[in-house]
Amino acid sequence: MIDPKQFTFAIAQIAEEKNIPEEKIIDVLESAIAAAYKKDYGEKSQMIKSHLNKETGAFDIYQHKLVVTVDEEGYITDKENLDEEGNPRQIRFNPDRHIPLTEAQESHPNITEGEEVVELLAPRDEFGRVAAQTAKQVLMQRIREIERSTAFEEYKDRVGEIVTGTIQRADRGIVYVELGKGVGLLFPSEQVRSDNYRVGNRYKFYIQSVEETDRDPNILLSRKSTDFVKTLFSLEVPEIFGGTVEIMGIARDAGVRTKIAVKSNGEGIDPVGSCVGQRGTRVQTIIGELGGEKIDIIEYSEDINSYIQAAIAPAQVLNVSINEEEKKAQLIIPSDQLSLAIGGRGQNVRLASQLTGYNLDLQGDQEVPVESQEGDESTEQVVDPVTINSVSPVGNSANENSPVVEVESSVEEPSSQEETEKLVMGTEDDAVSSDAPTESVVATEGDEDRLSE
């Protein structure tokens, strides 16, 4: 005989390991014992159920029969199953599953058609190998079904939240994340290159969607989404969580840099300062979670000119020309700050374009003179103003489809053989500064022959 205390403890332990309520574990055990009993001692058509007696640790076995009305030909009317014309189907009476109404009323006078008569069967303590295997299969199958259902119910209403998970494994680029009550999927398109997805590492993830399938539910995660950064700020900055400060836009090159625009909905509140925190504690926490990703926080403005100037920071803007119909803006930038405005691989101007929603054209503010001297004569060559082709607001990160920032410039080529020699050998004025002692550059006969060649 099973010790009831040990049996109850085992059920509680399984429930804790599988994150399943104890009541469901007991239901699964009762189904498994009923299946085993039916396999060895019952008939296929019988409705066998079992019930766990927690006081004794034994299972009581019951047979259920449906109360029906039988016609003269031995058929019963199944009102639940209808044929193609909508009429109740006629099925043959089965004594293992059915009991006539008149017979049932002999022992249960108040019973009616459609109810069930429950009979207690003789208990059995021994089961064969096949019955035991059947009970095991039923037990494992039902537990898996409950685990799937529990995982789906746990996460279906948590879409848009951030969860902490442990890297379980990686297969064909897909990272599997243990979330506690389910396993999340992190596809390559939602991964950040700078992250180290080693087994056992813990990260925070953004739940994008939860899909129910025939097997385990698909819990789709992301660390690349702009919503991930937005939710991190909402968790770390109380003003954003409470609605006093609002995030108006985010542009992100995942793992490298993020630009975020915020505005205040209350008087006397600095939106940028609220996000940064005292001595940068708030934003540093977010940067640490993003693996050192740089974050630019700017104040949102209804004035598109001011908004674009803030978005292109840290470069200064001398003038902005807006074309609202075509959503284009031309920016005049100091020539010495063009590289700063463009950013590495066009990152700064691309993120500014994504943040503002405008195509941005960058142009230098002045021509750059390049002087060349030949004896007493001097010529001045001019480099055209540096122009940055239009950059359109695109996705969250740089990819093959991202617009390429092109720098266009032209310089006149030397027009004579003598100028070519000057560039190769150097003239007196090119070789030394005006303040330094003058030295003549002497070319030997052999050098002149080589130049003439």
**Using one digit for the tens of pLDDT, what is the confidence trace for 313-339?**
888 888 888 888 888 988 898 888 888
Q: Per residue in 224-258, pLDDT tens? A: 999 999 999 999 999 999 989 999 999 999 989 99
CB 153 within 8 A of CB 207: no
Burial class (CB in 10 A: 0-12, 13-18, 19+), 330: middle
CB 252 within 8 A of CB 258: yes
Among 229, 218, 175, 214, residue whose Cα is nearest residue 198: 175
Q: Give the 3-state secondary structure of residue 148.
A: helix
Query: What are the contacts of 132-139 at 24+ separation with CB within 8 A?
Result: 132/36, 134/35, 134/36, 134/39, 135/32, 135/33, 135/35, 135/36, 136/32, 138/28, 138/31, 138/32, 138/35, 139/28, 139/29, 139/31, 139/32
The domain 156-224 is classified under which CATH number: 3.40.718.10, 3.40.50.450, 2.40.50.140, 3.30.70.100?
Answer: 2.40.50.140
pLDDT at 425: 40
The domain limits of the chain are 4-145, 156-224, 308-412, 414-453
445: tokens are 């006969």
The domain 4-145 is classified under which CATH number: 3.40.190.10, 3.40.50.170, 1.10.1530.10, 3.30.1480.10?
Answer: 3.30.1480.10
pLDDT at 350: 92
The contacts of residue 83 (CB under 8 Å, 6+ apart) are: 89
Q: How confident is the model at residue 83 (pLDDT cuts 50, 70, 90)?
A: low
Residue 174 has pLDDT above 90, yes or no: yes
pLDDT > 70: percent of the chain: 77
**Region 259-273: what's the mean pLDDT?**
90
pLDDT at 80: 66
Lowest mean pLDDT among 112-121, 155-164, 368-377: 368-377
**Region 91-102: what's the mean pLDDT?**
83
Mean pLDDT score of the chain: 76
Q: Per residue in 344-371, pLDDT tens? A: 888 899 999 999 998 998 888 764 433 3
Task: Residues 308-412: name the CATH superfamily.
Answer: K homology (KH) domain (3.30.300.20)
Among 258, 232, 259, 262, residue whose Cα is nearest residue 247: 262
CA gap 404, 420 in Å, rounded: 35
Q: What is the pTM of this model?
A: 0.62
What is the four-CA torsion angle of 423, 429, 431, 434, rounded to 10 degrees?
-160
CA gap 432, 101 in Å, rounded: 120
CB 209 within 8 A of CB 228: no
Q: Which residues pair with 159 in a beta bridge?
A: none
